[in-house]
Copies of this chain bind each other. A is one copy, B any other.
Amino acid sequence: MINKLISGIKKTGAPIVVGLDPMLKYVPSQIQDRAYRDHGETLEGAAEAIFQFNKGIVDAVYDLIPAVKPQIAMYEQFGIPGMAAYKRTVDYCHERDLIVIGDIKRGDIGSTSGAYAAGHLGHVQVGENSYAGFDEDFATVNPYLGSDGVRPFMDVCREEHKGIFVLVKTSNPSSGEFQDRLVIDNESGVQRKLYELIGEKVDSWGSELMGDSYSYVGAVVGATYPEEGKILRDIMPKACILVPGYGAQGGKGADLVHFFDKDGLGAIVNSSRGIIAAYQNDKYSSYGEEAYADASRAAVLDMIEDIRSALR
């Protein structure tokens, strides 16, 4: 799947992932009205509205990009109907031949991490039958619990040819609270930051699970921290870096050059609100809410150009 992602980036020339993180306040009124007319102002109504919203965007941009990244929290807040809308979104994106990165940030220990891995990337056995619960292609993983939490995902990735992105340096303002702490190596006494240590682990885990040119074990590093991105690019030469924080969170194309390799590969940049709610942005407001998906397409094209020109 990492090979498919890299070839998708090459084919589209767009190292870009659209974050499908729908909030009801982004969903145009015509879509909400229709969903509530059919399902009432219920969790089912909200779930239908966010799925139809997603579908419109996917139909408008699928030919431009290799991948999407639905943020499961935005669906999980609507309970079971919301989770069903997440699954419908994953399936619909697969119909459009998009790679799906499930932004699930799961992480637990042993058999529990194994259960998350099976549910999102693998299969579970029920009697004689085998089922894929959510069936994303990649998942984001939280490393705080150590190798015990990450290896069960790696085991499933090995079997299923799927991948993970491990949180290394997140894009939020307080990410440094723990991630930037200087840690001292017990043996050598060498000091480095916690995110560097975790980056080294990602490199080491990743070396066990290589695709053609990149590893099935990638990393999440926020666009809002370009200096750290440069350091981590060196620490993890075989990791594909998933870069959130572009656009609405403040990251710009020019900040991103050091997340990429010399050949312009090795990173994929996410934008969520900046794309899916583009029609609410002054720059694209002339589209209006009826044509929200066209506004999203315009925003994707602008983002591609911004990143291409930065990489030139």
A residues 70-111 with Cβ under 8 Å of B? 71, 73-74, 76-80, 82-84, 87, 105-111
Contact partner of A183 (CB less than 8 A), chosen from B32, B120, B182, is B182
Instruction: Please give me the residue from chain B that is nearest to A23 by CB atom.
Output: B111
Identical subunits present: 2
Partner-contacting stretch, out of A10-18, A129-137, A208-216: A129-137
The docked-state distance in angstroms from the alpha carbon of A179 to that of B146 is: 8
Known: A126-B24, A144-B142, A148-B173. A184 touches B191 (CB 8 A): yes
Contact partner of A145 (CB less than 8 A), chosen from B113, B118, B175, is B175
Judge whether A1 is part of the interface by a CB distance below 8 angstroms. no
Known: A42-B131, A77-B118. A177 touches B126 (CB 8 A): no
Candidate in A23, A45, A106 with the most chain B CB atoms within 10 angstroms: A106
Contacting pair A76 B119 (CB below 8 A): yes
Known: A24-B126, A41-B129, A119-B82. A109 touches B146 (CB 8 A): no
Judge whether A295 is part of the interface by a CB distance below 8 angstroms. no
Contact partner of A178 (CB less than 8 A), chosen from B76, B182, B198, is B198
Give A22-61 as 1s and 0s: 1 = Cβ < 8 Å from B's Cβ atoms.
Answer: 0110000000100010000111011000000000000000
A residues 290-311 with Cβ under 8 Å of B? none
A residues 154-181 with Cβ under 8 Å of B? 167, 170-179, 181
Known: A23-B111, A183-B182, A194-B181. A145 touches B174 (CB 8 A): yes
Give A182-197 as 1s and 0s: 1 = Cβ < 8 Å from B's Cβ atoms.
Answer: 1110100001001001
Chain A: residues with Cβ within 8 Å of the partner, total of 75
Contacting pair A73 B184 (CB below 8 A): no
The docked-state distance in angstroms from the alpha carbon of A64 to that of B241 is: 49
Contacting pair A80 B80 (CB below 8 A): yes
Judge whether A128 is part of the interface by a CB distance below 8 angstroms. yes
Contacting pair A172 B184 (CB below 8 A): no
**A24 vs chain B, min Cβ distance (A):** 7
Judge whether A127 is part of the interface by a CB distance below 8 angstroms. yes
CB-defined contacts of A132 to chain B, threshold 8 Å: 79
**A105 vs chain B, min Cβ distance (A):** 6
The docked-state distance in angstroms from the alpha carbon of A73 to that of B144 is: 17
Judge whether A203 is part of the interface by a CB distance below 8 angstroms. no
Contacting pair A181 B197 (CB below 8 A): yes
Judge whether A289 is part of the interface by a CB distance below 8 angstroms. no
A73-B115, A77-B118 known; 7 new pairs, CB 8 Å cut-off, are A23-B111, A36-B126, A42-B129, A79-B134, A80-B87, A82-B119, A146-B176
